[in-house]
Amino acid sequence: MSKIVDFVVVFDDGVRKRHYHETEKGKVTYFAVQLEIEVKGEWKVVVRYDCSHGFSHIDKYDIKGNKTKRMLDLSFESALTYGDWDINT
């Protein structure tokens, strides 16, 4: 049976972290951790660490919403830990 962890941390007015991950038998099977900012009443992703394409990667967004993707040579567990740390600091 899989376990799901899903929460939002508000860092400041208009700044938050969204954290989601799933584990199966203690192993991370899916994750997404992202930093979001509120712009004109809408939440926009600034940076996201996830594995939605079957591999760990980081997506960075500019002010216009253009995305750059960089593959991370990390396990899902390590990428989740690193992404969470990076967004928290």
Query: For residue range 7-32, what is the model confidence (pLDDT) as tens digits?
Result: 999 999 999 999 999 999 999 999 99
pLDDT one-digit tens code per residue, 27-85: 999 999 999 999 999 999 999 999 999 999 999 999 899 999 999 999 999 999 999 99
Supply the pTM of this predicted model. 0.94
Torsion of CA 85, 31, 59, 71, to 10 degrees: 90
Is 44 in contact with 61 (CB distance < 8 Å)?
Answer: yes
Does residue 1 register a pLDDT over 90?
no
Task: Report d(CA 71, CA 61) in Å as an integer.
Answer: 15
pLDDT value at position 21?
98
Sorted by where each begins, the domain ranges of the chain are 2-88
